[in-house]
Structure 1
Amino acid sequence: MKNIPELKLGIVAVSRDCFPMELSENRRKAVVAAYQKGYGKLYECPTTVENEIDMMKALEEVRNAGCNALIVYLGNFGPETPETLLAKYFDGPTIYVAAAEESGDDLLDGRGDAYCGMLNASYNLKLRGIKAYIPEYPVGNPEEIADMIAEFAPIARTVIGLKNLKIISFGPRPQDFLACNAPIKQLYNLGVEIEENSELDLYAAFNDHANDPRIPDVIKSMEEELGTGNKMPGILPKLAQYELTLLDWMNAHKGSREYIAFANKCWPSFQTQFGFVPCYVNSRLTAMGIPVSCEVDIYGTLSEYIGTCISEDVVTLLDINNTVPADMYQSEIKGKFPYELKDTFMGFHCGNTAACKLSSFNMKNQKIMARALEPNQEPNITRGTLEGDIAPGKITFFRLQSTADALLKAYVAEGEVLPVATRSFGSIGVFAISEMGRFYRHVLIEKNYPHHGAVAFGHFGKSLYEVFKYLDVEDVGFNQPKGMLYKTENPFA
């Protein structure tokens, strides 16, 4: 994926001048060795920081090495001022970690007191208003520190991505979709740029791509991906033209930003004017690491992009759509999986989920739109969806949202897609999340979330939660287990 940052981590050891510098340096070398053995490359800054002069030298070294994320390592107690100024002057996310003592036989000259130093470091960061990441328990041996750095990596990648992201939208939102409407002020607070365009701008650009000489190559790519699922080949030329339109717009409108996500209009006038539905193209761009949300859902595509950075994988955006029928639950889920009926639901969208995340797929027309736009006739303008059941496996359902009064909130819930045939249409799956019924009522409904949720394919709850904390999202909901009551939950129910 070229639409997310390539991370280059650098580690700087710090040392209090009344402690042996060699202690911090040797511990740093051990951390680097552990990380490189378990995870990959890590730039080791040769300067150990004792004072502000060292701090400036170390910053120059990590910058010259191309580092975009920094580890400040307290190999001993650490100097409070220069170690916090590292994060202040480094242009990128920073993690603070500290060394555990190695041996009960070496607690005289070999004791570093980094456990204590971390307290002062955190206090000074707060005092100076400097944002940095501190793990859940930030003190450990080299292998444990290496694990902390590895857990920091997706968080750092996401933070860098957001600061270099532009969301391009084509609107306005469809009527009665106020749920997808949200103030854009928080995008700027996050460092995200937005470019809002009209559906007419998109239509003009699409028409300019008629007879584009690249269209046959895109059609060939689509044919290869669809294989036997290419049930409506006649629509591929228009879909290829549209794909080129979006990609060219992206490249022409990046401006100062490196990464792009789209939030696009997709109905109802889209079909009558463009002559197709854009779902399959949306799925293909998302598979390239360029999320495209439906229905001009700006915070939906923002959430998708966050999931892309964290998982380094394809994501999707789905409606939290419908219940699983009781008879279907009884015959295909009960006794086979550890879920109650209210733990299950179906996640659905018209056809925007990438082919690689579907068990099987076919090019179809959009059934709901066809009812209104071309009933009782051969589908024409409603062709263009990629239909199929979502592949079973672990998932994380999540969303970052701005409220009507421009406050950020988020939710994260881990679960799975069950290997149960949906017997329905669209990109769809049978989802199961423990205590979903309570989560649905006391987070999704109570806190006024829209019906769209982003889906990452794997369990990424820990990283997502940490990203939302780093972004100063104070309200992060999750599916609380039994016995842990929500604030609004009736204890007598």
Structure 2
Amino acid sequence: MENIINKPRVGVLALGRETFDIPYAKEILKQVCASLHSLDIDIIGDPVNLCCDKETTLKTADFLKKQDVDLLLILQITFTDASLTMDTVKTLACPTLMWSFPEPRTGGRLRLNSFCGVNLANHALSRESIKIQTIHGLPDNKNSIDQLLEVAKAAAIIKALKKMKIMVIGDHPTGFDACNYNPLLLKQYFGVQIDCEPLPDFINEVKELPDSIADAAYDRRAKDFSNLSEMDQTATRKTLKVYSGLKEKAKMQAYNGIAVRCWPDFFIDYGCAACGALALMNEDKIPCGCEADVLGVLSSLLAQQVSGDVAFNTDLVDVDSIGNTVVFWHCGQAPIQMADRDGILQATVHSNRKLPLLSEFALKPGRITLVRITQGEGKLRLMIGGGEMLKAPLPFSGTAGTARLDIDAQSYRERLISIGLEHHTTLFYGEHRPLLKKIGQLIGLETIDLTA
């Protein structure tokens, strides 16, 4: 099932106190509402009404809770004490953003005292280990509006991840501790559900599928790779049956991603490479990771939610400190959307096991973002990075690209080693680090930019 990026659902609550300048407060609120309705978000609630008492506030909070909003936006129009905010935040238990507003320094009456209300509430919440986001600016301030939109997007992505399911087929290979995972910890931070199936069971399921189930995938791949007919046809069709089995499992059981123990079992027990099947799944935006790497799949799901596009779970395989470049590679499972169409696109065999089916092409040039939910040093953190994928020949067989990162190659190598980063890193196109940082803040994960 392809992951759909929905518009953020933002529940709005406007707070005020009648002892302040209510006509002016309502004027500010009217301007805020105009800004909110110009954004690509779903506004939930009745933001034009100012809540000035406990009864009205709690009634609004109860309504917003039933609407299952992604983000609670509290408009601190005038000063209020912290009690109404505390009650509302605890009722909804979702990411919260408070917006305070500056006012003219006239030498006269303090008409709103908005920021003081946010400061008071934030302190009270912090004493109960509840963290919120804040912005401060006029209703039409572009920076404030951009910050609001970023927080809303981050909150919507977090909500989407909480509804996702990942299947793990088989155990990670011996010695690949980078691919182990703590399901309780992932549930705590991301809410993702993880199910497991023994690899022999899945291979037997695929063997029982009719050979004709691979026909559609074969035709699809033949349009991409003119040399497909040169591959071992029996092994090629087995790979495509694996793809059909993964696709059906994802569809019937609503899995958003699948982590697969790819070797040596598929080569030995079934006579084909799993890589080509994983590539097709990645192209379908149902990320599949090899070596049963659950965190790699989850990182790819996060990348897809952030970008709305495909992701590629890679190995860093070469560091050139003289030319200041690095190579990101994997056997042949990059989605074809990432291919440099000016180069060769073809089918190939696994470089070590000599069985098909794998994709082979160089990655296209362009801005890239890196992300990994990492367990380095025994703690869950979010690693990010950025750089440029260069237009360069295929550096190694399979799917790979040569990149120049935002720091020199040697420093990047030293930094990833120093934090104990796994060998897998998710790569996707575009600059997405600001949104990833905001997601890390909202879920309470330390975020490390290895290229900053």
Q: Are the aligned partners of 2:377 and 2:419 in contact in 1 as well (CA < 8 Å)?
A: no
In the alignment, the residues of structure 2 paired with residue 36 and residue 171 of structure 1 have an alpha-carbon distance, to the nearest angstrom, of 48
| Superposed CA offset, 1:135-186 (max 9, x none) | 5x54443343321221113311221123222221112212332232344342
Structure 1's 21 and 317: CA in aligned 2 closer, same or farther, altered over 3 A? farther
359, 377, 384: which one pairs with 1:386? 359
Q: Is the CA contact 2:320–2:409 (under 8 Å) kept in the aligned structure 1?
A: no
Equivalence for 2:329:
348
Q: Which of the residues 262, 266, 269 maps onto 2:262?
A: 266
**1:387-426 superposed matches below 5 A:** 387-403=360-376, 405=378, 407-426=379-398
Partner of 2:87: 85
Contact 2:239 2:356 in 1 (8 A): no
Shift of 1:297: 1.2
Please tell me whether residue 302 in structure 1 is matched to residue 301 in structure 2: no
Give the Å deviation of 1:304. 1.3
In the TM superposition, residue 468 of structure 1 has moved relative to its aligned partner by: 1.8
Q: Which residue in 2 is equivalent to 1:198?
A: 198
Query: 1:194-233 CA deviation, whole Å, 9 max, x = no partner?
Result: 2122211211221232346x54344444444x16464657
The alignment status of 1:238 with 2:238, answered yes or no, reads: yes
Q: What is the CA-CA distance between 1:265 and the residue it aligns to?
A: 1.0
1:328-339 aligned at under 5 Å gives the runs: 329=323
The Cα of 1:15 is off from its aligned counterpart by 1.6
What is the CA distance between 1:448 and its match in structure 2?
1.3
State the partner residue of 1:247: 247
Query: SS at 1:369's partner residue?
Result: coil
Q: CA deviation at 1:403?
A: 4.3
Q: Tell me the alpha carbon deviations over residues 334-361 of structure 1, each in whole angstroms, 9 at most, x when there is no partner.
A: xxxxxxx2xx210001111111111132
**TM-score (ref. length: structure 2):** 0.87
Name the count of aligned residue pairs: 443
Aligned to 1:416, what secondary structure does the other structure show? strand
Q: CA deviation at 1:465?
A: 1.8
Q: Which amino acid aligns with 1:87?
A: V
Conserved 8 A contact 2:319-2:409? no
Selected match of 1:284 from 280, 283, 286: 280
Q: How big is the shift at 1:389? A: 0.9
Alpha carbons of structure 1 residues 105 and 286: separation in structure 2 relative to 1, 3 Å: farther
2:130 corresponds to which residue?
130
Instruction: Name the CA distance, whole Å, in 1 between partners of 2:288 and 2:147.
Output: 32
Give the alignment of 1:214-225 within 5 angstroms.
215-224=214-223
Q: Are 1:182 and 1:299, in contact at CA under 8 Å, matched by a contact in 2?
A: yes
Residue 359 of structure 1 aligns with an amino acid whose one-letter code is D
1:142 aligns to what?
140
Whole-Å separation in 2 of the counterparts to 1:204 and 1:31? 59
* TM score, norm. by length of structure 1: 0.81
Residue 222 to residue 48, structure 1, CA distance change in 2 (3 Å): farther
SS at match of 1:216: helix
Work out whether residues 396 and 414 of structure 1, in 8 Å CA contact, stay in contact via their aligned partners in 2: yes
* Cα offsets for 1:43-82 (capped at 9, x unmatched): 4524433333223322344356563333222222244222
Task: Give me the whole-angstrom Cα distance separating, in 2, the residues matched to 1:119 and 1:252.
Answer: 49
Whole-angstrom distance in 1 between the partners of 2:95 and 2:4: 15
Please tell me whether residue 313 in structure 1 is matched to residue 309 in structure 2: yes
In structure 2, what is the equivalent of residue 465 of structure 1? Answer: 437
After superposition, the C-alpha distances for 1:410-462 in whole angstroms (9 at most, x for unaligned) are: 32111110122234321111111132445435431112111111112111111
Alpha-carbon distance between aligned partners in 2 of 1:229 and 1:24, rounded to the nearest angstrom: 69
On the 8 A contact 1:291/1:305 being kept in 2, the answer is yes
- The one-letter amino acid paired with 1:349 is H
Are residue 58 (structure 1) and residue 60 (structure 2) matched? yes
Cα pair 2:285 2:304 within 8 Å, conserved: yes
Over aligned residue pairs, what C-alpha RMSD do you find?
Answer: 2.9
Change (3 A) 1:345 1:471: same
Contact 2:39-2:149 at 8 Å conserved across structures: no
CA deviations on 1:224-268 (whole Å, 9 max, x unpaired) are: 4x16464657355434422231133234444xxxx6221111111
Mapping of residues 448-487 of structure 1, within 5 Å: 448-474=420-446, 476-480=448-452
Partner of 2:97: 95
Q: Which residue in the other structure is 1:490 paired with?
A: none
Give the CA deviation at 1:189: 1.9
Could you tell me whether the CA contact under 8 Å between 2:321 and 2:409 is conserved in 1?
Answer: no
How far has the Cα of 1:278 moved from its partner? 2.2
**C-alpha distance in 2, partners of 1:171/1:272?**
15
Offset at 1:272?
Answer: 2.6
1:115 aligns with 2:115: yes
Conserved 8 A contact 2:72-2:96: yes
Q: For 1:72-95, what per-residue CA distance to the aligned partner results, in whole angstroms no more than 9, with x for missing partners?
A: 222222442222332322254332
Matching residue within 73, 76, 93 for 1:74: 76
The aligned residue for residue 376 of structure 1 is none
Contact 1:16/1:79 (<8 A) preserved: no
Asked if 1 retains the 8 angstrom alpha-carbon contact of 2:367 and 2:431, the reply is yes
- Which digits, 9 at most, give the CA deviation of each residue in 1:375-429, with x for residues without a partner? xxxxxxx212111111111111121122474x21232111110122234321111
Q: Partners of 1:352 and 1:287 in 2: how far apart?
A: 9
- Structure-2 residue corresponding to 1:484: none
SS at match of 1:267: coil
Give the 3 Å change call, closer, same or farther, for CA 216–85 of structure 1 in structure 2: farther
Q: Distance in 1 between matches of 2:37 and 2:260?
A: 42
Provide the C-alpha distance between the structure 1 equivalents of 2:107 and 2:258, rounded to a whole number of angstroms: 57
User: What is the distance in 1 between the residues matched to 2:307 and 2:170?
Assistant: 29
Contact 1:231 1:363 in 2 (8 A): no
8 Å Cα contact 1:48/1:58 also seen in 2? no
